[in-house]
Amino acid sequence: MKKRLSTFFVGTMLLAISSNGMAAQVDHADFIRGKYKSGPDVTKECLKCHEKQADDIMKTSHWKWKGPTKGHVRGYENSKVEYGKTNMLNSFCVTVEGGPNQEARGHCGECHAGYFWDKKGFDLTDKTKVDCLVCHAQQGDYGRENNEISDFTDLKKAAVSVGLPTIKNCGACHFSGGGDDAVKHGDLDSTLKTADKSLDVHMASTTKGGQGLDCQSCHTTKDHQISGASTMLATHEGRVTCEDCHSGKNAPHQNSRNGVILNSHLKSVACQSCHIPFFARKKATRVSWDWSTVGKNLTLPPQEGRISYDNARGTYGWAKNVVPTYMWYDGTINRYMKGDKIKDPSKPLIFMKPYGSITESSAKIYPFKYFTGKQPMDSQYKYLSVFQQYKGLWDTLNWQKSLEDGAKGSGLPYSGKYQFVNTISYIGLDHMVAPKEDALTCGDCHMGGTRMNWKALGYNGDPMLMGGGRDKKASVNHQQKPADLNFIQENWVQKHQ
């Protein structure tokens, strides 16, 4: 019998809603009467009424795992090639292309919204392969393991229970990115399923003081195209911003004692920078992954209650309640793409980094998770190597074999020699929005506050004290208004008593 999943797997970012936004809420008890032996059997039933929805899904990047860059990645603004999880690398499990037939998909494909994408050659045009239940089933203990339906699943009960996606549906994959809960995204983990207001004011239920929003409340959807752009990937199907809701009559800081000063920050500071003061607040997130120690049989103490070493996967670093790294970001990223040459392997490779600077008017200061990795590079060709981890390295601990097989799946030649290089990734933070009373105050960043590295951001120093930067006049005015400074000092003292 297959082991029961702690979380059930859903299609990456697939907040599947029908085209009219309502059909998924219909009671399906009168339509679902058969006995189903497999997931595709259920899909065939769904297709009797929802063939258009299947067509819509198969046009999305969440189904294809790639899409147009839409100017998201610098240097690829005019690319006619579609990019996504299917042909990109990262610094976590690295790739889905590992293996002569891309067998790595057998593991990564558990978070694809289709059945049995376990190797190269999956038929992306077959509507019966669409997994409707991963996003819509609310009961029946629906789950998948190694691309097979869990033995604990009641398919008929799952099919009857379909409705609009919940945080649990979406989180089953998004909370487990990178292979386990809280690994990849420092602001997304399973604690959000039962969040109270102190963890996330949007996702917390109204009974716990929150707004009771579902994911699609912000990640709006049309024809299964789901808005939201990640610094991890190259494509998106629309942007999501705080201003989508917090503008006009709902503009921020209207009732704030020092609203004028706070609003003067809005041209330079993103909402997230003040309202996500810490990430991984309830559960530790992975902050480093060193693949070079695979097979070394190390004994390392756990960190934050989580294992620090896995003989088949390498060494991990963990952190909890983490202060973000702050950087300028204009909505575009610099990103390492498969096959890019590494100029100096002795220096850390910047895997992904937000683009922007103090001189760019469209950029703002945003918070990021700082993540470091160590992964193999082909010593001759000087590009990051694709290797077969699933049904490869994780079983054999044989780097040479896994690199040879990874090359066959990726199409990147392997010279036969490899070395390990350090990588750095900056991962955007948009969730775990704290209540306003827990947001940053002036003294956290100014007047001796150490949260911002002002010089790294392009300032001469604290702009509150020194002036300069993007809005010199505003900075000088702050110094010339004792009442404002008195408020800041009082606020800082109250915060740090």
CA distance linking residue 437 with residue 270, whole number of Å: 17
pLDDT of the residue at 186: 96
The CA-based diameter of the chain, rounded to the nearest angstrom, is 76
Cα-based distances in Å from 276 to 193, 281, 322, 439: 18, 10, 10, 7
Residues 6+ apart with CB under 8 A from 349: 336, 342, 384, 421, 422, 423, 424
Nearest Cα neighbor of 426 from 358, 371, 374 is 371
421-457 burial, b at 16+ Cβ within 10 Å, e below that, comes to bbbbbbbbbbbbbbbeebbbbbbbbbeebebbebeeb
Cα-based distances in Å from 252 to 203, 215, 217, 248, 431: 19, 21, 19, 9, 18
Q: Which amino acid is at 102?
A: Q
pLDDT of the residue at 33: 78
- The continuous run of DSSP H or E covering 375 comes out as strand 364-378
- The DSSP string of 231-294 is TTSS--SS---GGGTSSGGG-TTTT-TTHHHHHTTTTTB-HHHHH---BS-SS-EEEEEEGGGT
- 3-class secondary structure, 395: helix
pLDDT of the residue at 486: 52
167-170-173 Cα angle (round to 5): 130
Q: CB of 387 within 8 A of CB of 408?
A: no
Q: What is the pLDDT along the chain (497 residues), one digit of tens a residue?
A: 333 333 333 333 333 333 334 444 688 888 887 789 999 999 999 999 999 999 999 999 999 999 999 999 999 999 999 999 999 999 999 999 999 999 999 999 989 999 999 999 999 999 999 999 999 999 999 988 767 888 889 999 999 999 999 999 999 899 999 999 999 999 999 999 999 999 999 999 999 999 999 999 999 999 999 999 999 999 999 999 999 999 999 999 998 888 998 999 999 999 999 999 999 999 999 999 999 999 999 999 999 999 999 999 999 999 999 999 999 999 999 999 999 999 999 999 999 999 999 999 999 999 999 999 999 999 999 999 999 999 999 999 999 999 999 999 999 999 999 999 999 999 999 999 999 999 999 999 999 999 999 999 999 999 988 876 665 433 433 333 333 445 544 554 444 44
- 3-class secondary structure, 422: strand
